[in-house]
Amino acid sequence: MPARQSDAARHGAGGDFRPAAAALAALLVLTACMGGPGGGVASKGTLRADQPAGTSALAGQGNPAIAALQARRSVLPPGGPFARVAEAVLRADSGAAAAELRMARLRATAKDKNWLPRIGPSVTLSALNGLAAGLLLEQAILDHGRRRAERAYAATDVEVTAVSLALDINQRVYEGLVAHVQAERARAQAAISARAAARLAEFASIMAQRVEGGLSDRSEEQIITLKQSEMQATLAADRQAEAAATADLAAMADPSATAVRGIDALPLSGATAEPLSVAKARSEGARAVAEAQVARADLLPGLSGGVNVGSDSIDPTIKLGGAGLLGLGTGDEVAALAETGEVMARRTADADETARRRLVSLEGQIAILRSREAQGAAVLASTEANLSLFTEQYKVGRRTLLELVGQYDSFARLEREQAAIRYEVALTELEIARDRGLLVDGARM
């Protein structure tokens, strides 16, 4: 057996702890020389998103973006139909987005310790003496802010994942509430269609008797039969829409959601929460800046110190790392990476403008719908008064049955349209609440 290998075997058999002690001493020396987590030389372009060691990127702990997400409060009235449907949807959530957030937190926690020296086995082949095993400890001395950028990237990655979680949960609750509102709208319209179909069936029966008695011809009967068939088709469509929306809701929530009835008006007048799309754009921008800082550090030569601890020796080393080779285009590459912050800021501004314009448009739609609802209520009341007048005139023979049927059919269809407006308002309010991230309490995420 070679002499070096025999010595190593003899030290191991005899319980010689000198290599381990030497490794520990070298580790302490390197850490002290680097000055802890701030070790390494950073350029003037060091990221502002850097976090000192010991600061975790966990939600609500030293991270304003995530703390702001947690501070959001749902605008769904407690105990109301919307809140009960949302609770049923959340109970059935698989939690995939939450699992991704936990993974991002773990990665950030791991990166918090990247300032510590790295240690690993070292195996070398020495001439004719065979293999020599030892421990290699390495500590960065000059990294141009790379480790700080890595910590910043991990922290902002948690932010991006947290915002994505908020988007995912709000979108899921929104979809469940939309299905509920659509089912309620179809149910309300079906009730109107059912009453109208029954009333038209009575008119059709009266007309059939008049035709048999020779008081009316069959063309009038055909017109009434056609209107009755159209209303029955409308009723069937309403019931199909209700069944489809109910099935959709049942697929994404537990069974209790399909038993909920009614809708809520959302208190959005004082809502000022930043849209989630803007929060995500800002977090993605910060992450891109950190990534650019890492790429910048990789373009520049770095310096690291190490200690190779063998069975009978301690060999210090200095290593030049990074790209190492500088070219004529290196300056331009560094300058291009330096523009990342400006590009991301402009993208965030664009996202903010788009979100604000969308919210203004949705609020305008609500105003239009409410105006239509008020005007429609007046028209419906007038139509109902005319229908009562037509009925009285028909009874005294001043109106024909066909005229009465036409008036009633118009009234029933106008009533269906009027009933749908409040549900359209609810759907638009849900869009605003979703965009602002106000369908679920942030503390639940």
Average pLDDT for residues 59-87, to the nearest whole number? 85
Separation between Cα atoms, residue 281 and residue 343, nearest integer Å: 12
Write the CA distances from 440 to 65, 248, 309, 419, integer angstroms.
Answer: 17, 20, 56, 28
> Hey, how many other C-beta atoms are within 10 angstroms of the C-beta on 316?
12
| Beta-carbon contacts of residue 288 (< 8 Å; ≥ 6 apart) | 340, 343, 344
More confident residue, 6 or 319: 319
Which percentage of the chain shows pLDDT scores above 90?
Answer: 44
C-alpha dihedral (67, 61, 168, 363), degrees to nearest 10: 10
Position 361 confidence tier, pLDDT thresholds 50, 70, 90: very high
Tokens for 68? 């702001």
Helix (H) or strand (E) holding 290: helix 276-299
CB 297 within 8 A of CB 290: no
In the block, which residue shows the tokens 């987005």?
Answer: 97
Q: Between 146-212 and 276-299, two packed helices, what is the crossing angle to 10 degrees?
A: 150
The pLDDT value given to residue 152: 84
Least confident of 136-145, 175-184, 432-441: 136-145
CB 180 within 8 A of CB 85: yes
Helix (H) or strand (E) holding 185: helix 146-212
More confident residue, 102 or 175: 175
More confident residue, 424 or 321: 424
The pLDDT value given to residue 50: 36
Per-residue pLDDT reduced to its tens digit, 182-222: 999 999 999 999 999 999 999 999 888 888 887 778 888 89
Separation between Cα atoms, residue 89 and residue 251, nearest integer Å: 9
The pLDDT value given to residue 269: 84
Provide the mean pLDDT of the chain: 79
Helix (H) or strand (E) holding 122: strand 118-125
Position 302 confidence tier, pLDDT thresholds 50, 70, 90: confident
Average pLDDT for residues 165-170, to the nearest whole number? 90
155 pLDDT exceeds 80?
Answer: yes
> What is the sign of the dihedral through the CA atoms of 90, 91, 94 and 97?
positive
16 pLDDT exceeds 60?
Answer: no
Average pLDDT for residues 260-280, to the nearest whole number? 91
CB 76 within 8 A of CB 82: yes
Determine phi and psi for 30, rounding to 5 degrees. Answer: -65, -45
DSSP strand pairing (314-321 vs 131-142): unpaired
The pLDDT value given to residue 353: 96
Average pLDDT for residues 162-184, to the nearest whole number? 93
19 pLDDT exceeds 70?
Answer: no
48 pLDDT exceeds 50?
Answer: no
The pLDDT value given to residue 52: 37
The pLDDT value given to residue 55: 34
Which percentage of the chain shows pLDDT scores above 70?
Answer: 69
Complete domains list, the chain, with CATH: 14-344 (1.20.1600.10)
Per-residue pLDDT reduced to its tens digit, 396-417: 888 889 899 999 999 999 999 9
Average pLDDT for residues 223-239, to the nearest whole number? 95
DSSP strand pairing (302-309 vs 118-125): unpaired
Least confident of 29-38, 247-256, 381-390: 29-38
Per-residue pLDDT reduced to its tens digit, 127-145: 555 555 666 666 667 677 7
Helices (H), 35-95: 64-70, 81-91
319 pLDDT exceeds 80?
Answer: no
Q: pTM value?
A: 0.77
Average pLDDT for residues 177-186, to the nearest whole number? 97
174 pLDDT exceeds 80?
Answer: yes
DSSP string, 129-153: S-EEEEEEEEEEEE-TTHHHHHHHH
260 pLDDT exceeds 70?
Answer: yes
Position 125 confidence tier, pLDDT thresholds 50, 70, 90: low
347 pLDDT exceeds 50?
Answer: yes
162 pLDDT exceeds 80?
Answer: yes
More confident residue, 117 or 288: 288
Position 315 confidence tier, pLDDT thresholds 50, 70, 90: low
Q: Which of 13-27, 308-322, 395-409 has the highest mean pLDDT?
A: 395-409
The pLDDT value given to residue 120: 64
Angle, alpha carbons 263-266-267 (nearest 5°): 150
Sheet holding 314-321, edge to edge: 118-125, 131-142, 302-309, 314-321
| Amino acid residing at 354 | T
Write the CA distances from 266 to 33, 88, 236, 439, integer angstroms.
Answer: 60, 19, 31, 10
Tokens for 15? 């319980």
The pLDDT value given to residue 210: 85
Separation between Cα atoms, residue 147 and residue 73, nearest integer Å: 36
C-alpha dihedral (395, 401, 405, 406), degrees to nearest 10: -110
